[in-house]
Structure 1
Amino acid sequence: MKEMNKKKKLPASSPSMAFSPLKSFLLLLLLSFSPITLCSGASPAPAVGNISHVEFAQYFHSYYGQSFKVIKNAIDAKSYLLIQNTSRMAGRVKYCTSRIKSFIVPLSNFSVDTSAFPLSFLELLGQLGSLKAITSNSLSSECILKYYLEGSIQVVNANETQLLSQFPAHFVSKPGDELACNFALFLPAVENTPVQRAEWIKYLGAFYNMEARANSIFTAVKENYACLSTAASNRTTSPKPIAAWLQFNEGIWSFSKDPYKLEYVEAAGGENLDSSISKNTYNVSDPDDNEEFHAILCTLDVVIDETYVPEPETYKVSNFLANVYIEDHSCFAFLSNQSLWRYDKRIINSSTLDWYDGAISQPQLVLADLIEAFFPTGNYNTTYFRNIAKEEGIVNIVPEMCERDASTAMQPTLVRCNGSY
């Protein structure tokens, strides 16, 4: 994660900074509630209607009162006070400090910085109809692209803070960018496991009073993921296939140690590269480095090549071999078994990968892809991964591929799982 920008201080005269001792006390009391704690000693049902419990995610927590809820974000150390629009508090309370911001919910008009925001969460919640502005037309969903081309969403400059302030909420996915009062941070990619990342649908759902739907979607995704993982663990193949994620950049090969990627390998029934291999980068121009790198490659059964290229559709197995700097690759089992993969199968305009969007909200599809990579059946069509050892190409996403009303909710794609898939 890039270094966080320094936060700007609001003027001391700002109304949002003016707290009486009573208000300060009430605010501290409000933020100290346990989940589902009510405002008073009485026990009426919360007016918010439905509630989300955080089960796995580590970087946010939710708390509920009678007419409000609080999302505590551990990434930016902010609390987002979500006040029901039907409550008396909605007309009297407004916070914008370094630690707390308030929003009136449910949101019906908002904007998004799309540089790193996975819009697929909004599709699953059915909230595209309320999305009024984005900061880039680099989209990775056929239905969002269709919705944009129909003129339902405008593009605004991400640096036009004053323009973006017209929206009740503007979501960003980069810490340090949430300085304006209506900016809120949404960053599921920071979590360490695929399921934790997917649970951030509950975070967004709270802004729209869509907890019930968020809970339902997450439960379906979580259970499908667990079923697929169990099915993969029941495979009789021994030993387990050894897999590694690696990339080439300016003459250096490096192995990825991202926790969620290592989790995917294990959940799919594979084995990660031995953790005792502490060296992580290898310079192909250094003979000793290159020899050691080739030795490691010879132990792998599956390779996922993450090398960045501006035009992914042009990247083939010949490019990989050229970067490896070796002519005799007969010891590479992943080549003889044709198991060299990339996650750039779904792409728009030759540059925008759905891997950074839809794959975050629906990890069960990624897991199913990897199970097919580790235990090939030949009868499963992968979603995000393509096998360049078999010269598989990309799927260019176009708006005509959208088969539903783009403003309606998208259903999660569940993979058949009954002991196999």
Structure 2
Amino acid sequence: MHRAATMSPPYSRSLQLASCFLSLIFLPLLISAAAPPVSISRVEDAQYFRIYFGQSFKVIKNGFDGKSYLLTQRNSKMATRDGYCTGRIKSFAIPLSNYSLDTSTLGIPVSFFELLGLLESVKSVTSDEVTSECLLKSLSSGNTALVNTTDARQLMQFAAHFVSDVDRVQACNYVVFTPMEELLPLQRAEWIRYLAPFANAEARANAVYGSVKNNYLCLSKLAANQSGQLKPVVAWVEYKKGIWSFISDPYIKQLVRDAGGETVDEIITNNSYNVSDPDDMDNFHAILCTVSVLIDQTYAPSPAEYNMSTFLDNIEVIDNSCFAFLTNQSLWRTDKRVRTISDGHVTDWFDRAISQPQLVLKDLIEAFFPSGAYSTTFLRNLAKGEEVTEIGPETCDRGSSVALEPTIVPCQRLLRR
């Protein structure tokens, strides 16, 4: 399972220590390659990685697990030297000829590889529990193979195997890729720049992230400039084992804030509510009476069967007349795009929503300030009976060698409620 980020973002002192450490390790290589002084690349928003460039090499520093990756150009003299494979440093000749992805756990959004045009080079995944239509098509055509996540010998045949589980024993070709450990939407999306150096695709990554960020900031500014309107109060909730709770993490708070809303008071969101305790539920219902938009992120084994009746049964309310989010038909879930698998489902909320946060933001803006003219990507409206969209290989609309283009949504004046 995905593990929430607990490490503080790397600050200047840790970066200085990392720079000194890398300089000591790579100094002989720098001199022999007659490279200019190492310079840090411009990482604008992400907190958990940095990139350093030399004449014929790059160094990626992962600030979440402390690992570094020395990337040497395949046709350079440095690439002919013995490589590194220690607990802290690994080396790779780039551009990589192929990729393998650990898709058996959350944390490796395939859409990052698609945005860089690398899908054709993805030759192995450890699970077909993905929401990328074109990767599913590649699996069905045989271009990509399914490899057991425990088959280290088979995984070693690939140039690099990308993983998100930092606690797993890692072979020399394993690369830790952890965008979901970042706390904020744009920080996560910028991990396309972490991936790009392995393919010498920095120009493409800069273009994609630039477009995504500009679109996100434009939409956020538009939502903030709504004049004469009270900010909608938003509750992001979850029901699990008889307990209702408010989800309140930095990622969700930032999205709600950037979309022009405000979350339920911080003190309230620290509480949980047991459906078997009448006092608890009275308090919970009272809080819901102050909410204008509700997003229900309760896990459902079959999202297609989760509807408004399911929600109302779970909150065990007799009179819901005070619930403005029902009156305004603003009850939402994040499982609009799903793929049904043998033992459950997977949702695109943990893939494309990570690499393209501008689409999530636009969905929330539509939920907060409905225009009726925009079809949401990830959110579905339970109050209006909106159904899920099933994902499959048949909906892939491009070849595996063609890069996925980011969806840039119109940024225009919103209609008033």
Task: Indicate whether the TM-score tops 0.5.
Answer: yes
- CA deviation string 1:57-90 (max 9, x = no partner): 0011111111111111111111111111111111
Instruction: Give the corresponding residue for 1:171.
Output: 162
Q: Does 1:149 align with 2:140?
A: yes
Alignment pair present for 1:358 and 2:352: yes
CA–CA distance in 2 between the matches of 1:404 and 1:349? 22
Q: Secondary structure at 1:277's aligned position in 2? A: helix
Name the counterpart of 1:29.
Answer: 24
SS of structure 1 residue aligned to 2:43? coil
Residue in 2 that maps onto 1:17: none
CA shift in 2, pair 1:196/1:178, >3 Å? farther
Determine the C-alpha separation between the residues in 1 that align with 2:228 and 2:216.
20
CA distance in 2, matches of 1:75, 1:192: 12
Matched, 1:89 2:83: no
Instruction: Answer yes or no: is 1:387 the counterpart of 2:381.
Output: yes
- Residue type of the partner of 2:77? R
**1:79 aligned residue:** 68
Amino acid of the residue matched to residue 102 of structure 1? S
* One-letter amino acid matched to 1:29: L
Match of 2:42 among 40, 44, 53: 53
Alignment of 1:322-361 (within 5 A): 322-349=313-340, 351-361=345-355
Query: Are the counterparts in 2 of residues 246 and 304 from structure 1 also a CA contact under 8 Å?
Result: yes
| SS at 1:416 equivalent | coil
Q: Which runs of 5+ in 1 are unaligned?
A: 5-24, 33-37
SS at 2:236's partner residue? Answer: strand
* Unaligned residue ranges in structure 2 (runs of 5+): 6-19
Q: Give the superposition deviation at 1:26.
A: 9.2
Q: Which amino acid aligns with 1:162?
A: R
- Distance change (3 Å), C-alpha of 1:225 and 1:40: farther
What is the percent sequence identity of the aligned residues?
54
Once the 2 structures are TM-superposed, how far is the Cα of residue 418 of structure 1 from its aligned partner? 3.2
1:219 aligns to what SS in structure 2? helix
Note the C-alpha offset of 1:206.
1.0
Using the TM superposition, name which of 99-108 and 229-238 deviates more. 229-238
Q: 2:312 aligns with which of 307, 318, 321?
A: 321
Retained in 2: the 8 A contact 1:172–1:178?
Answer: no
The 1:321/1:163 distance shift into structure 2, 3 A limit, reads same
CA separation in 2, counterparts of 1:3 and 1:399?
A: 31
Q: TM-score, normalised by structure 1?
A: 0.89
- After superposition, the Cα gap between the structure-2 partners of 1:278 and 1:381, relative to the gap in structure 1 and judged at 3 Å, is closer
> What is the TM-score when the length of structure 2 is the normalising length?
0.89
Q: Is the 8 A contact 2:96 2:199 kept in 1?
A: yes
Q: Give matches, 1:256-267, under 5 Å.
A: 256-267=247-258
Q: Note the 1:63-142 alignment, pairs <5 A.
A: 63-115=52-104, 116=106, 117-142=108-133
| 1:231-250 equivalences in 2 (<5 Å) | 231-250=222-241
For residue 2 of structure 1, report the CA deviation from its aligned partner: 4.0
Give the C-alpha shift of residue 139 in structure 1. Answer: 1.9
Distance 1:172 1:388 in 2: 35
Determine the C-alpha separation between the residues in 1 that align with 2:308 and 2:211.
36
Distance 1:395 1:59 in 2: 34
Amino acid at match of 1:364: Q
Q: Please give the per-residue CA displacement for 1:160-191, whole angstroms capped at 9, x wherever unaligned.
A: 11211111210001111252111111110111
Structure-2 residue corresponding to 1:285: 276
Letter in 2 for 1:369: D
Query: Do the aligned residues in 1 keep the contact of 2:124 with 2:147 (CA within 8 Å)?
Result: yes
Per-residue CA deviations over 1:202-259 (Å, capped at 9, x if unaligned) read: 0000111100100110000000000001111111252210002111001001111121
Counterpart in the other structure of 2:16: none
The aligned counterpart of 2:211 is 220
Deviation of residue 91 (structure 1)?
1.3
In 2, Cα distance between equivalents of 1:256 and 1:40: 53
The 2-side partners of 1:28 and 1:52 are apart by: 16
Q: Does 1:294 align with 2:285?
A: yes
Cα distance in structure 2, aligned partners of 1:83 and 1:152: 27
**Which residue does the alignment assign to 1:368?**
362
Report the AA paired with residue 97 of structure 2.
S
Deviation at 1:399, TM superposition (A): 2.1
SS at the partner of 2:161?
strand
Cα deviation, 1:16-36, whole Å, max 9, x if unaligned, reads xxxxxxxxx99543569xxxx
CA distance in 2, matches of 1:136, 1:180: 19
Higher mean C-alpha displacement, 362-371 vs 113-122: 113-122
CA distance in 2, matches of 1:355, 1:142: 14
Q: Is the 8 A contact 1:178 1:184 kept in 2?
A: no
State the match for 2:173 in structure 1.
182
Amino acid across the alignment from 1:383: T
Q: CA RMSD for the aligned pairs?
A: 2.4
Q: Counterpart of 1:82 in structure 2: which amino acid?
A: L
- Summarize the alignment of residues 173-212 of structure 1 with structure 2, pairs less than 5 Å apart: 173-177=164-168, 179-212=170-203
Please give the alpha-carbon distance, in whole angstroms, between the structure 1 residues aligned to 2:359 and 2:169.
Answer: 31
Output the amino acid matched with 1:109. Answer: N
Is the 2:245–2:269 Cα contact (8 Å) retained in structure 1?
no
Where does residue 416 of structure 1 map in the other structure? 410
Give 1:348's aligned amino acid: R
> Relative to 1, partners in 2 of residues 1:160 and 1:78: Cα closer, same or farther, differing over 3 Å?
same
How many equivalent pairs are there?
394
- CA 1:66–1:93: 2 relative to 1, 3 Å: farther
SS in 2 for 1:224: helix
Counterpart code for 1:106: P
CA contact (8 A) 2:193 2:202 kept: yes
